[in-house]
Amino acid sequence: PISSTPRTFVMLSKISPSSAARGIRNFNTKIFEKKTVSLADRTETIVVGGRDKFHLLPQAFEGVKQIGVLGWSSQGPAQAMNLRDSLEGTGIKVSVGLREGSASMEKAAAAGFSRDDGTLGEMYDVASKSDMTLLLISDAAQANTYPKLFQHLKKGSTLGLSHGFLLGILNNRGEKFPDGVDAVAVCPKGMGPSVRRLYEQGKSVNGAGINCSFAVEQNATGMAVERALGWGVGIGAPFIFETTMRDEYVSDIFGERSVLLGAVHGIVEFLFRHFVANGASKEDAFKRTAESITGPITQMVSHNGLLSVYDSFEGAEKREFEVAYSAAYHPLMEVLMEIYDDVKSGRELDSVIDAVSRHGQYPMTTIDDTQTWRVGETVRAARTSAQRPVCPTTAGVYLACMQAQADLLIANGHSYSEVANESIIEAVDSLNPYVDFRGIAYMIDNCSIVARLGARKWAPRFDYLLMQQAGPKLEKGEVDEGLITAFKENKLHQIMSVCAALRPSVDISPVAGQHGVRD
Amino acid sequence: PISSTPRTFVMLSKISPSSAARGIRNFNTKIFEKKTVSLADRTETIVVGGRDKFHLLPQAFEGVKQIGVLGWSSQGPAQAMNLRDSLEGTGIKVSVGLREGSASMEKAAAAGFSRDDGTLGEMYDVASKSDMTLLLISDAAQANTYPKLFQHLKKGSTLGLSHGFLLGILNNRGEKFPDGVDAVAVCPKGMGPSVRRLYEQGKSVNGAGINCSFAVEQNATGMAVERALGWGVGIGAPFIFETTMRDEYVSDIFGERSVLLGAVHGIVEFLFRHFVANGASKEDAFKRTAESITGPITQMVSHNGLLSVYDSFEGAEKREFEVAYSAAYHPLMEVLMEIYDDVKSGRELDSVIDAVSRHGQYPMTTIDDTQTWRVGETVRAARTSAQRPVCPTTAGVYLACMQAQADLLIANGHSYSEVANESIIEAVDSLNPYVDFRGIAYMIDNCSIVARLGARKWAPRFDYLLMQQAGPKLEKGEVDEGLITAFKENKLHQIMSVCAALRPSVDISPVAGQHGVRD
């Protein structure tokens, strides 16, 4: 029964797993050069990639005659092609493995992989012949196929993931990676098409590429670290930092539910209604929200950091930014904390499994037929080369989300490199340029199943919390000076500037029809 | 990383617990009369209560000298006062137990419970002196205090719950009720104030009261069934049906997240925007949504069932209802299935525990300061005695929600009695009359912590799914004839009419300041 009780808050002990069990290991490599970087109050150790390191790959892959790349959705084509290019002339074969009868066989063949020379085949067969097997099929498919795949891995081979998701599934089920093989992850902080695109740009601009994290969960061969680093360098990462598989999947699953997709969706829906309710035309409201975020705000953050957006405003506009930031930070943080707890506890992954099992009855539908996105299509179609507006209210809310997300990840012990990449760099350097090209609704309707489910689940929560809490505060127009000072003096800005210095600021020019993004 | 994958749906095996493990036990009673009722294609066994059964209570409570009622929020005062009235002259003492220093001590004293005659005291002390202890403190507080309470229960006593929540917590933690005591539940299908109010009305109209389910989870004394039934009869239930504690908490936690609170909130927000976007004034939009649901639609369903609403429309209005029902049923079902899975798996309760633990940092805020509810305050304040409108679109969406919820519970093996009560009777006979009096936002801001968290979590999901899927269909104006036929011919109507015949159709007249509903 629903009972009416006084508004008192009972504190219960948290039962989610302790974060104290986690922690960054300090890796050793005899092949690549480690570099220590000062990030605010910490130092972190990274490996710098680049084409001038490609000559080290044969050493890193010692004992590896074939790298099997399983899957051809997003990361699969990008990583298979990048590795093939980087390993040209070394004698190490890159072979693509797909489901027998997969429609992607033709696409892989068109990209030059061939059954005749053994660089294309059935996935379990490719796995059983590979010394390193990169499992790049969708998360949902991984959850379904891993028991069979594990049986096909060679003893002494290395299983590679580009995402810790499978570890989350194994944890929830009380299972482990198979004995006698390495389990490593190299996780590009961007979609597959960006990984390929920036690699190609890297041919003229050394160091252009998508940053990666790497993790060694199981080191059976003793060579897991070198192989993982070789993999990261081989796909073109300019900058590789260490994490754990657990930290990686928690921050990744969390990130796509928040600032990368879910929060952006919810923020735009809330602000769109807010501006319309306050007299803006629908077209203008869309320009001030979605168009502002994925266009100029993204570019300013990418090129010069969060503070450059704030510093670009003066007078009344600066105050408008501050009001919006003050109104939005706490409600956003409230949702972010809930997402983080749901991911950390394993509930979010469990719910994904259940959701996918319901798709037989209710397949996933699209979100793009609502007023906001229909207006958006019109606005986007009529874009001109003229300067697009930077709305101070939208900037305040969006940057509050980035800052809150970074604050939360730091409080939960993630490495600063991971925080900067998951909260900001992946958004402004990899995802948002595509979103700007395709539209937010399109992106949410066409990303991975796990990400789509997360964006649908959490966007409405961001929207409602903002509507209920930030809306009234926007009306009142008050500034929380403490929050603004904390933003201006935040260590995140120094962290970001160091991370930015580690790669050239290459703009991504999305191309229609590129691998993984459907027309 | 977020990857773009083709829109294929991978079926994963469900890992949530099997529902086959559940099942209704057929109870035996030597004291009360069992009655078999035909509910559509099943028969179910119930006990009919009423004042003419009160003389059986001493037999049912054989060996019970004191009943301790712990808590004074919603169910506590109602059940303590009803039991005291029903047991007058039997020598069985009803004693209220509260936290030492609780502000409710005064309220209980004002209701005639007294330290001097041993009918009021500290909760653990009262429990240790009681032969039957009814734990009616909030769910959140139960999760915190049960280990200590269990130590204070007398061997051979009966622990009574009005909600299976605690079993859910014990299940999640791998624990059990203590040995040597009964564990039973009697669960009124309405808030405490309704339980008291209808009991008082029952003095003049025999059989007026709130229906209850009952469950026996552990029968250490061999008398658990009789004590539970005595308890149900004693608090005035006109009609008591059997369930399991697990089915009860699943359907209850599910129900408050859906048609009772979460869905109503989301439906009203979506339709309010929909009507305003189509030219209605805000005031008119509020009248067509919230005012229509909690007023006339609720009364019609309560008096004459779901079909009476449908039958009240003709011509274009009937078509409008059918379009809305057709547009809304599937998106609502999609959210309902997700809620049900989350509750059944234990994830929802786990997330409640985590949410409460975050309240130290972010206390729960209110939802009532948004445009919808501000307009609502104005509209509600200006209510006249004139007939309130029944909007066909709103009726179509709301009834689709009730029907979808009933369909889902039936598919998951709940007893028809439970389905009718959780999906419809609790809404129209107990909750909505209060909601009509107080407003939806007030209700959501003042119900139990578990219900508040659930309403906040799921309302936005109902809203978004309706906006994304039902919105475009409302525009197209199509009718799904199959859905409408399934609605018209649904067995739910016969089930409802039998359940309705088992109690007088007493309207609840909410009174400000009554127990548990704050002013």
Q: What is the 3-state secondary structure (H, E, C) of B53-120?
A: HHHHHHHHCCCCCEEEEECCCCHHHHHHHHHHHHCCCCCCEEEEEECCCCCHHHHHHHCCCCCCCCCE
Judging contacts by C-beta atoms under 8 Å, the chain A residues touching residue B463 are 460, 464
How far is A388 from A299, CA to CA, in rounded Å? 11
DSSP-based three-state secondary structure for A250:
helix
Confidence class for position B510, pLDDT limits 50, 70, 90: low
Q: What mean pLDDT comes out for the span B180-185?
A: 97
Strand duo B34-39 + B42-48: pairing: antiparallel
Among all chains, which residue has been given the structure tokens 């299908």? Answer: B189
Question: Are B421 and A1 a contacting pair, CB within 8 Å?
Answer: no
**Residue A510's pLDDT is what?**
53
How far is B10 from A394, CA to CA, in rounded Å? 37
Task: Give yes or no for B449 touching A (CB within 8 A).
Answer: yes
Please name which of A38, A189, A19 lies closest in space to residue A491, comparing C-alpha atoms: A38
| Model confidence, pTM | 0.89
User: CA distances (Å), A102 to each of A97, A205, A461, B361, in order?
Assistant: 10, 36, 37, 50
Task: Give yes or no for A334 touching B (CB within 8 A).
Answer: yes
Question: Are B469 and B400 a contacting pair, CB within 8 Å?
Answer: no
Of A353, A371, A469, the CB nearest to B15: A353
Of B4, B357, B468, the CB nearest to A365: B468
**Residue A385's pLDDT is what?**
78
How far is A47 from A112, CA to CA, in rounded Å? 31
**Angle formed by the axes of helices A449-465 and A139-152, nearest 10°:** 150
Judging contacts by C-beta atoms under 8 Å, the chain B residues touching residue A467 are 370
How far is B208 from B197, CA to CA, in rounded Å? 9
**Residue A24's pLDDT is what?**
44
Is residue B437 classed exposed, middle or buried when 0-12, 13-18 and 19+ CB atoms within 10 A define those classes?
middle
HSE-up (13 A, CA, CB side) for residue A41: 3
Question: Residues of A annotated as binding site for Mg(2+)?
Answer: 252, 256
For chain B, how many residues are written? 519
Task: Give yes or no for B344 touching A (CB within 8 A).
Answer: no
**Residue A138's pLDDT is what?**
87
Answer yes or no: is pLDDT of B67 > 60: yes
Q: Do B10 and A138 touch (CB under 8 A)?
A: yes
Q: Do A138 and B5 touch (CB under 8 A)?
A: yes
Under DSSP, the state recorded for B428 is I
Q: Do B367 and A468 touch (CB under 8 A)?
A: yes
Name the catalytic one among A152, A163, A265, A414. Answer: A163
Judging contacts by C-beta atoms under 8 Å, the chain A residues touching residue B365 are 468-469
How far is A262 from B22, CA to CA, in rounded Å? 37
Q: What is the pLDDT of residues B109-153, one digit of tens each?
A: 999 999 999 999 999 999 999 999 999 998 888 988 999 999 999
Answer yes or no: is pLDDT of B499 > 50: yes
Name the catalytic one among B152, B163, B265, B274. Answer: B163
User: Which residues of chain A are under the pLDDT cut of 50?
Assistant: 1-24, 511-519
If residue A82 lies in a helix (H) or strand (E), which one and from where to where? Answer: helix A75-86
How far is B451 from B260, CA to CA, in rounded Å? 10
Residues 367-386 of B with CB under 8 A from A: 367, 369-371
Question: Are B194 and B430 a contacting pair, CB within 8 Å?
Answer: yes
**Nearest-CA residue of chain A relative to B190?**
A1
Please name which of B295, B317, B273 lies closest in space to residue B468, comparing C-alpha atoms: B273
- Domains along the sequence of chain A with CATH: 34-238 (3.40.50.720), 254-501 (1.10.1040.10)
**Residue A296's pLDDT is what?**
96
Prediction ipTM score:
0.88
Tokens of A347: 């509930």
Q: Do A189 and B1 touch (CB under 8 A)?
A: yes
How far is B444 from B453, CA to CA, in rounded Å? 9
Question: Residues of B annotated as binding site for Mg(2+)?
Answer: 252, 256
Residues 155-184 of B with CB under 8 A from A: 162-163, 172-173
The size of the A-B interface in CB pairs under 8 A is 262
**Residue A190's pLDDT is what?**
82
Judging contacts by C-beta atoms under 8 Å, the chain B residues touching residue A347 are 347, 350-351
Strand duo A132-135 + A93-98: pairing: unpaired
**Residue B189's pLDDT is what?**
83
Q: What mean pLDDT comes out for the span B346-366?
A: 92
Under DSSP, the state recorded for B51 is G
Please name which of A414, A498, A430 lies closest in space to residue A188, comparing C-alpha atoms: A430
3-class DSSP string for B361-387: CCCCCCCCCCHHHHHHHHHHHCCCCCC
What angle (nearest 5°) sits at the alpha carbon of residue B501, between those of residues B495 and B506?
Answer: 120
Tokens of B325: 């029902």
Question: Are A445 and B4 a contacting pair, CB within 8 Å?
Answer: no
Question: Are A245 and A164 a contacting pair, CB within 8 Å?
Answer: yes
How far is B87 from B80, CA to CA, in rounded Å? 11
Confidence class for position B509, pLDDT limits 50, 70, 90: low
Question: Are A405 and A421 a contacting pair, CB within 8 Å?
Answer: no
Query: How many angstroms away from the CA of A249 is the closest CA of chain B?
Result: 9
How far is B259 from B409, CA to CA, in rounded Å? 12
Task: Tell me the DSSP string of B337-353.
Answer: HHHHHHHHTTHHHHHHH
Task: Give yes or no for A358 touching B (CB within 8 A).
Answer: yes
**Catalytic (active site) residue A55:** no
Q: What is the pLDDT of residues A411-433, one digit of tens each?
A: 999 999 889 988 898 899 888 98
Q: Encode burial over B119-136: b for 16+ CB neighbours within 10 A, e otherwise.
A: bbbbbbebbbbbbbbbbb
Q: Do A12 and B469 touch (CB under 8 A)?
A: no
Tokens of A75: 């990361």
Q: Do A11 and B361 touch (CB under 8 A)?
A: no
The residue type of A394 is: T
If residue A456 lies in a helix (H) or strand (E), which one and from where to where? Answer: helix A449-465
Average pLDDT over chain B, rounded to an integer: 89
Handedness of CA A422, A427, A430, A431 (dihedral sign): positive
Handedness of CA A382, A388, A392, A396 (dihedral sign): positive
Q: Do A448 and B3 touch (CB under 8 A)?
A: yes
Task: Give yes or no for A148 touching B (CB within 8 A).
Answer: no
Question: Residues of B annotated as binding site?
Answer: 252, 256
Of B5, B9, B468, the CB nearest to A367: B468
HSE-up (13 A, CA, CB side) for residue B123: 25
Query: How many angstroms away from the CA of B312 is the closest CA of chain A?
Result: 31
**Residue A19's pLDDT is what?**
32
Q: Do B2 and A73 touch (CB under 8 A)?
A: no
For chain A, how many residues are written? 519
Task: Give yes or no for A192 touching B (CB within 8 A).
Answer: yes
Interface test with A, best of B3, B18, B361, B449 (most A CBs within 10 A): B3
HSE-up (13 A, CA, CB side) for residue B267: 35
Answer yes or no: is pLDDT of B502 > 90: no
**Residue A348's pLDDT is what?**
94
Task: Give yes or no for A447 touching B (CB within 8 A).
Answer: yes
DSSP-based three-state secondary structure for B187:
strand
- Among B20-34, B167-181, B218-232, B300-314, name the one with the lowest average pLDDT: B20-34
How far is B76 from B515, CA to CA, in rounded Å? 9
Which range of A167-176, B33-42, B374-383, B391-400 scores highest in mean pLDDT? It is: B391-400
Tokens of A276: 């319309």
